[in-house]
Amino acid sequence: KQEVTQIPAALSVPEGENLVLNCSFTDSAIYNLQWFRQDPGKGLTSLLLIQSSQREQTSGRLNASLDKSSGRSTLYIAASQPGDSATYLCALPSGTYKYIFGTGTRLKVLA
Amino acid sequence: DAGVIQSPRHEVTEMGQEVTLRCKPISGHDYLFWYRQTMMRGLELLIYFNNNVPIDDSGMPEDRFSAKMPNASFSTLKIQPSEPRDSAVYFCASSLEGRAADFGPGTRLLVL
């Protein structure tokens, strides 16, 4: 059974810092891994999808890496801004397309 | 594309009443997922469909919960009878095989 852990649970940083969010999973036989952002009281916005054959995906200031052998993914946010404040969730399939979500990292970027 | 559409956005009902949540997936997507989010348990997958066929409903908590997808553009999640512990945010998501899932805005359900 796939288990997904995200560390840290919460993070507060000053504006402009580069930061790394971590996602660990127990079953490395995955199709892909997806990072989401959730704003308070809102739905989920997909940020990046990494296929199992890829090691990295980049979108603007975001970079996600995937290391299947070690069961880890990281989301790197460069030059953080107050608008980046949200909860970040990683999700990966347990079996075919049955996505399991981590508990999330609540990020607060201080102006 | 309007994205995944869910209705209602908010629902307040009394214990014992029937609740029906609705979802319109993105046109052309062949997978549809229903999730529930609570503070205690985070995001949990309840059920998912592929080409309108339920594939895995092992996440459905009890027989009080049922989901249907009569066609490619519409799905419902029904709770009958509802209980206070069903209070949560229910999300619908859709995807095209192998690609990123798109989530709807969610339905906030409060059962009194």
Give, for all 112 residues of chain B, the pLDDT tens digit. Answer: 679 999 999 999 999 999 999 999 999 999 999 999 998 888 999 999 999 999 989 899 889 999 999 999 999 999 999 999 999 999 999 988 767 788 999 999 999 9
B107: nearest Cα among B82, B89, B80: B89
Q: Do A99 and B50 touch (CB under 8 A)?
A: no
Contact list, A89 vs chain B (CB under 8 Å)? 43
In whole angstroms, give the CA distance from residue A102 to residue A111.
27
**For an interface test with A, which of B39, B45, B90 has the most A Cβ atoms less than 10 Å from its Cβ?**
B45
The b-or-e profile of B46-80 (16+ CB within 10 A means b, else e) is: bbbbeeeebbbeebbeeeebebebeebeebebebe
Q: Do A51 and B101 touch (CB under 8 A)?
A: no
Taking only the tens place, the pLDDT of each residue in A71-108 is 999 999 999 999 999 999 999 877 666 778 998 999 99
- Cα–Cα–Cα angle for B79, B85, B86, nearest 5°? 30
Please tell me whether residue B18 adopts helix, strand or coil conformation.
coil
In whole angstroms, give the CA distance from residue B14 to residue B84.
8
Sign of the alpha-carbon dihedral angle for A28, A30, A36, A40: negative
In whole angstroms, give the CA distance from residue A81 to residue A15.
5
| Torsion angle (degrees, nearest 10) of CA B80, A43, A88, B111 | -30
